[in-house]
């Protein structure tokens, strides 16, 4: 048997410390752990910001596997350097979205193997070949990159795993959820499908000057034709690499999803997010699904999945919240909202707008229209949902005109019932159409205008919670307010902090007394704490 493996979760760690999404536990590291467990190899997951200060702990492990995004390169460099200082032997594997720029990553970080794209089948083959213990013919293994005579070597692309394999051959580890601090209070993401149905493409030139030839493939009635691009422009929104990396949607079976969620709840998880680039793509249409707006959502499959999840005791008793995030506005209808309302206690659909300009939206490859988003928000609000709307500042093509249109659209969706505006700065992702474009800057004039408007709206929305009681779950000590504990909403509601120390997983009812910022409120505990 191979030695023990340390799986380092470096996702969203940046230079080594997570400053956002601190309550999120992604799918990737548990998927990796599941493959090791399939081969009977012991593994442990640790966050990179927990490992870097505790160097001595590395001596307990024989091999290192790191999951990271492009933005986490600095943290990964620190981690691998530290590992090699303490462990002269042992393999170093690196994977996740960071692998989309293989030549750069190989030169900068120098892992033994870089796993490109989907990792399960590739890792499975590496372990079958006894890679952890022996020298193997890496050139024969598809979907990886490595240094050969100090030069990058990239092997043939690996075929995407099938829907059946997602459901039956590979199963994410559930037991390793306990490796995460305060996992009882965290949002634990459970993958229900992989890939995206938006196979439109940007009309803006790529960084190398490649330009759309208006071949009309992206609008073809033939779903297979949409995959083809004579200019080889990556599919999807220009800022996103999902369809180019993961392909069109492949849904997991309801049985496999239910089994994973049940095991997580039995271990004490309270908040589950059904992870998908677009939830309404679940079991929708035929393969390949490359039209983002047609056919409509498969309501029978969605109702069956949600109904079975709701039948789990912890959910039906109200001690666990099942949530859904990403939804395409063009698919979100009254019928969808009615199905979700019937099947869920509460919901905050996350709807991507990105820009308030319809022209700009088309140019970046986004599906639908700004009016689709306003309509979807109104539908959600009419069914007592609390929708979030996403925008991005600093996108290619952003102008004073598109910025003003985005400001007006923020106000429109706020008036329509949006619970929160979530504004991100544009990042240039390898594998996306906008790779190598200049990234957004906090000093950018248009970005400052959009951030000011978003903060104003979000502050007003938080004030609506004053004097209301919100049920939440204790997580970790506040990093900004000494003697306070961070409380995450169990269902829908604001991020909270309360005085006193509470252990992770403690269920509380909090009366909101003050708004500290556009993203945080404080309050007082109004009932006896309980543990579930």
β-strand partners of 95: 67, 115
Per-residue tokens: 421: 């505006």
Which contacts qualify for 411-416: CB closer than 8 Å, 24 or more apart?
411/453, 411/457, 412/374, 413/353, 413/373, 413/374, 413/377, 413/389, 414/457, 414/460, 414/461, 416/374, 416/377, 416/378, 416/381
Average pLDDT, the chain: 95
Per-residue tokens: 158: 């690996």
Q: pLDDT per residue over 61-71, tens digit each?
A: 999 999 999 99
Q: How confident is the model at residue 420 (pLDDT cuts 50, 70, 90)?
A: very high
Q: pLDDT per residue over 27-58, tens digit each?
A: 999 999 999 999 999 999 999 999 999 888 89
Place of tokens 């960071």: 98
The separation between the first and the last C-alpha atoms of the chain, rounded to the nearest angstrom, is 38
Q: pLDDT per residue over 115-142, tens digit each?
A: 999 999 999 999 999 999 999 999 999 9
Measured CA to CA, the distance from residue 120 to residue 110 in angstroms comes to 21
Measured CA to CA, the distance from residue 208 to residue 194 in angstroms comes to 29
Cα-Cα-Cα-Cα dihedral sign, residues 106, 108, 110, 113: negative
Cα 208 to chain center, whole Å? 29
Q: Is 1 a residue whose pLDDT tops 60?
A: no
Q: pLDDT per residue over 203-253, tens digit each?
A: 999 999 999 999 999 999 999 999 999 999 999 999 999 999 999 999 999
Helix, strand counts (H, E) of the chain = 15, 23
Of all residues in the chain, what percent carry a pLDDT higher than 90? 92
- What residue segments make up the domains of the chain, in order of their start? 5-166, 182-463, 469-531
* Range 182-463 has CATH code 3.80.30.20: yes
Q: What is the DSSP string of 147-198?
A: EETTEEEE-PPPPPPPHHIIIII----SGGGGGSTTGGGSEEEEESEES---
pTM of the model: 0.94
Residue 381 main-chain phi, psi, to 5 deg: -65, -40
What mean pLDDT do residues 292-310 have? 97
Measured CA to CA, the distance from residue 501 to residue 113 in angstroms comes to 43
What is the pLDDT, as a whole number, of residue 344?
82
What is the pLDDT, as a whole number, of residue 532?
59
Q: How confident is the model at residue 345 (pLDDT cuts 50, 70, 90)?
A: confident
**CATH code, 469-531:** 2.40.50.140
Element (H, E) at 471: strand 469-477
Cα-Cα-Cα-Cα dihedral sign, residues 165, 251, 187, 447: positive
Helix, strand, coil shares of the chain, percent, nearest 5, are: 35, 20, 45
Element (H, E) at 5: strand 5-9
What mean pLDDT do residues 394-413 have? 98
Specify whether the backbone of 505 is left (phi greater than 0), alpha (psi in -120 to 50) or beta: left
Q: Is 251 exposed, middle or buried (0-12, 13-18, 19+ CB in 10 A)?
A: buried
Measured CA to CA, the distance from residue 514 to residue 496 in angstroms comes to 10
What mean pLDDT do residues 487-492 have? 90
Q: How confident is the model at residue 18 (pLDDT cuts 50, 70, 90)?
A: confident
Max intra-chain CA distance, the chain: 66
Distances (CA, A) of 16 to 10, 24, 36, 67, 379: 8, 16, 25, 13, 41
Whether 5-166 shares its CATH topology with 469-531 is answered: no
- Sheet strands (E) in 325-407: 326-327, 350-354, 388-393
What is the pLDDT, as a whole number, of residue 68?
97
Q: Is 391 a residue whose pLDDT tops 70?
A: yes
What value does the CA radius of gyration of the chain take, rounded to a whole number of Å? 23
Q: Is 473 a residue whose pLDDT tops 50?
A: yes
Place of tokens 């925008």: 391
Measured CA to CA, the distance from residue 63 to residue 86 in angstroms comes to 11
Which of 431, 430, 365 is CA-nearest to residue 395? 365
**CATH code, 5-166:** 3.40.50.280
Measured CA to CA, the distance from residue 194 to residue 172 in angstroms comes to 14
Measured CA to CA, the distance from residue 493 to residue 487 in angstroms comes to 11
What is the pLDDT, as a whole number, of residue 149?
96
Per-residue tokens: 475: 């997580």
What is the pLDDT, as a whole number, of residue 2?
64
Q: How confident is the model at residue 530 (pLDDT cuts 50, 70, 90)?
A: low
Q: pLDDT per residue over 270-294, tens digit each?
A: 999 999 999 999 999 999 999 999 9
What is the pLDDT, as a whole number, of residue 89?
87
Which of 168, 219, 167 is CA-nearest to residue 194? 167
Q: Could you tell me whether strands 63-67 and 92-95 are parallel, antiparallel, or unpaired per DSSP bridges?
A: parallel
Q: How confident is the model at residue 531 (pLDDT cuts 50, 70, 90)?
A: low
């Amino acid at each position: 048997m191979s030695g023990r493996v340390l799986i380092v979760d470096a996702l969203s760690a940046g230079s080594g410390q997570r400053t956002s999404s601190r309550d999120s536990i992604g799918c990737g590291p548990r998927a990796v752990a599941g493959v090791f467990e399939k081969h009977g190899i012991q593994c442990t997951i640790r966050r990179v910001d927990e490992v870097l200060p505790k160097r001595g702990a590395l001596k307990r492990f024989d091999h290192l596997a790191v999951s990271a995004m492009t933005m986490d390169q600095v943290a990964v460099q620190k981690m691998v350097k530290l590992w090699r200082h303490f462990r002269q032997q042992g393999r170093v594997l690196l994977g996740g979205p960071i692998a989309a720029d293989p030549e750069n990553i190989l030169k900068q970080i120098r892992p033994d193997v870089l796993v490109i794209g989907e990792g399960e089948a590739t890792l499975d083959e590496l372990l079958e070949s006894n890679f952890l213990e022996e020298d193997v013919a890496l050139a024969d293994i598809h979907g990886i990159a490595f240094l050969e005579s100090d030069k990058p070597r990239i092997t043939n692309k690996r075929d995407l795993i099938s829907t059946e394999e997602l459901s039956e051959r590979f199963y994410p580890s559930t037991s390793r959820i306990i490796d995460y601090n305060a996992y009882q209070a965290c949002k634990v993401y459970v993958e229900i499908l992989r890939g995206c149905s938006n196979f439109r493409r940007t009309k803006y030139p790529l960084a190398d000057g490649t330009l759309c030839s208006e071949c009309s493939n992206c609008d073809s009635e033939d779903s297979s034709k949409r995959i083809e691009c004579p200019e080889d422009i990556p599919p999807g929104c220009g800022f996103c690499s999902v369809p180019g990396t993961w392909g069109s949607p492949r849904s997991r079976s309801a049985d496999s999803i239910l089994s994973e969620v049940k095991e997580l709840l039995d271990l004490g998880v309270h908040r589950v997010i059904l992870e998908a680039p677009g939830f309404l793509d679940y079991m929708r249409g035929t393969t390949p699904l490359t039209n983002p707006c047609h056919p409509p959502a498969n309501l029978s499959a969605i109702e069956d999945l949600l109904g079975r999840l709701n039948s789990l005791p912890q959910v039906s008793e109200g001690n666990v919240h099942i949530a859904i995030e990403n939804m395409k506005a063009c698919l979100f209808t009254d019928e969808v909202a009615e199905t979700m309302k019937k099947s869920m206690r509460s919901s905050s659909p996350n709807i991507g707008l990105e820009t308030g300009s319809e022209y700009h939206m088309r140019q970046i490859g986004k599906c639908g229209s700004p009016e689709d988003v306003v309509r979807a928000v109104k539908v959600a609000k009419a069914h007592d949902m609390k929708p979030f709307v996403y925008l991005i500042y600093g996108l290619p093509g952003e102008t004073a005109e598109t910025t003003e249109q985005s400001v007006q659209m923020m106000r429109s969706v706020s008036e329509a019932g949006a619970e929160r505006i979530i504004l991100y700065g544009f990042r240039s992702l390898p594998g996306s159409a906008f790779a190598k474009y200049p990234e957004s800057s906090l000093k950018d004039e248009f970005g400052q205008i959009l951030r000011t408007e978003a903060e104003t709206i979000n502050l007003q929305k938080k004030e609506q919670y004053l004097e209301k009681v919100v049920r939440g779950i204790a997580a970790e000590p506040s990093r900004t307010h000494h003697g306070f504990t961070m409380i995450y909403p169990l269902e829908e509601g604001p991020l909270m902090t309360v005085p006193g120390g509470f252990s992770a997983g403690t269920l509380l009812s909090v009366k909101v007394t003050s708004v500290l910022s556009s993203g945080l409120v404080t309050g007082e505990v109004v009932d006896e704490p309980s543990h579930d």
